[in-house]
Every structure is written in structure tokens, then in C-alpha cells.
Structure 1
């Protein structure tokens, strides 16, 4: 019986560690950079011009309301690279670190 309990504990601990490893956590400096890019510095245009995001004080009405949409990090990254509808691609104007900072910021702001 003790062997079974110990085995279950080990399996539970391994599951928690594996799950935690799949979650991306951004540090505050990255989130601050993402917020600045979202509000003013992204090129060809700042995200806040088109999107609503309460944390950023953004009330854009062209693109989706990100507070309602609650996109994943992967969704934000994909749309920033490929563009969608009226939204242009940012692949040529923002490097990967900048796109990741925006994605991290948006996800942290909507969750």
C-alpha cells in the first residue's frame, strides 16, 4: 500500500512539473516592453490604434476587443506574423523578441 501511495505521489509531482514547464512566464521587463510596443512603438502601427485592451487603456474599434477574445500567446504570435483581415503582418517590422513581448503582454493582460 505504501508503495502505491509513493508511486502516485511521484507521478503527481512529475505531472505538475511537466505542466509547469509548458507554461510560458514572462518577466516584468518583457511585459513592460510589450505594453509600450502595444501602445505606441509597434510598426507599421501601434496595436492600440485598432484593438481594445483595458490594461493598456486602448479603445480601438477596428480589430477585435482583446479583453473579450482572450487570445493565446500562439494566436497573437501567428496573427502578428501572418496578418489577418485588415491587420498587416509585423514580421518585417518587428523582430521576434518584440513580437514575443507583445504576445506575452496581451496574454498577461487578458488573463
Structure 2
């Protein structure tokens, strides 16, 4: 039974990001946003929850992006924002997307 569960997890591409609880995701997302992403999101973006006042990119509290929109911007870049595929893992991008969309209310239908 355990072997079957492991195979099932591997076949569905289990993600570390979603093995963490919501509080841990938000905490790690905040840290990535403030300092750990390279370059840090905080340099360009204003986000109240992170205590940042960036003046280059959009104010995320006003934009209220969905998780999908944030993930797309991280993967592909947008406007003057570079893609982060060479700087962040897929899990880190998912955590950041979940964090930003959650704290801005962008994940609400």
C-alpha cells in the first residue's frame, strides 16, 4: 500500500509547496518576496503585508492578482519584470504566487 501511494505521488508530481500548511506557505512567501528572491520583489513592488514600498512595478494591493497571474509573471516576465525561472524553483514560484494572491485578496472568486 505504501509503495502504491509513493508511486501515485511521484506520478502526479507532488510538490513541496503544497505539502506545507497555509501559515508556512505565507511565511515562506513573505520571506521570498521581501529578501530571498533574486532580485527581491520588494525592490519594485508595494505590498502592505510585506511592508514594502517599491516604486517601479505595480502596487500589488491594488492589482489583486490571481495566483495564476502571479505564477505566469514569475515564469515569463511581464513588462519590465524579468522571468524568475533561472532564479527560483517551481515550488518557490508557486509559494510566491500563493502568498501574493492570498494577501492581496486576488485568490477570491
TM range (shorter): 0.7 to 0.9
Q: Which of 17, 24, 27 is the matching residue for 1:29?
A: 24
Query: Which consecutive segments of 4 or more residues in structure 1 shift more than 3 A?
Result: none
TM-score, structure 1 normalization? 0.74
Give 1:1-111 correspondences, 5 Å limit.
27-43=22-38, 45-111=39-105
Deviation of 1:55 (Å): 0.6
Paired residue total: 86
| Structure holding more helix per residue | 1
Q: Any idea what the Cα deviations from partners look like across 1:85-111, whole Å, max 9, x if unmatched?
A: 211100111001100111111011111
Larger radius of gyration: 1
Q: CA deviation at 1:42?
A: 0.1
Where structure 2 has 5 or more consecutive residues not aligned to the other structure, the ranges are 1-17
- TM-align CA RMSD: 1.3
CA distances 1:4-59 after superposition (whole Å, capped 9, x unpaired): xxxxxxxxxxxxxxxxxxxx9x611111111000000001x000110010010011
